[in-house]
Amino acid sequence: MSDSPAEISGSGFPLTAPSSSQLQQLVEKLTPEQHHVTQKSGTEAPFCGGHLAEKSAGVYGCVVCRLPLFRSSDKFDSGTGWPSFFDTYDAQHVTRKSDASGGMVRTEITCGRCDAHLGHEFSDGPPPTGIRHCLNSLALHFWAEGEAIPLEIPLEIPREIPREIPREIPREIPREIPRAISDATDAPATPDADLAIAWFGGG
């Protein structure tokens, strides 16, 4: 930790950022996918994150430093394909930044202790806050109700394997592709899919 006085959140959690060596130790335990999302502001594909369908009672925290971020009681189905919450565990645990990537200005949300990228915040959520915190499952760790949440940064945590949503059975590929369809596949790709991810939230 740094030598500056420890900042404590309203819910009693230390918010002092990890030192560079401690952060490196934490980041080394991430999977490549978790590293891409939390350290490079990546975005997981919609409807693929393991925490999207999680219905158990508990708390969601930062996968890097284990700071609690959201409660299951504040989770809702936004229909966007990413875990969504209308309130935070503690307002001090989530930091907001302006994000002009993706061809639009959005509000990025990061961990209030280690600055890991979490997702984005939007003003189209349900009452009582009207806020939608759109999260990447890869940025989250889940504690089931009754499990102990550490106050300090646990430097000896094991590598976490992200949960996955079972894939649907792939569509059968026809033996022959009609010429008309084949011609269509030669057309250049458009950025519509990327824009949709940026607009609806993603990471």
Q: Are 50 and 34 in contact (CB under 8 A)?
A: no
Among the listed residues 65, 111, 114, 134, the single catalytic one is 134
Helix, strand, coil % over all residues of the chain, rounded to 5: 20, 20, 55
Is residue 4 exposed (0-12), middle (13-18) or buried (19+ Cβ within 10 Å)? exposed
| Cα(122)–Cα(63) distance, integer angstroms | 22
Token digits for 183? 């011609």
134 is catalytic: yes
Q: Which of 46, 133, 125 is nearest to 84 (CA)?
A: 133
| Cα(113)–Cα(47) distance, integer angstroms | 28
Token digits for 156? 């000896």
Q: Which residues are catalytic?
A: 134
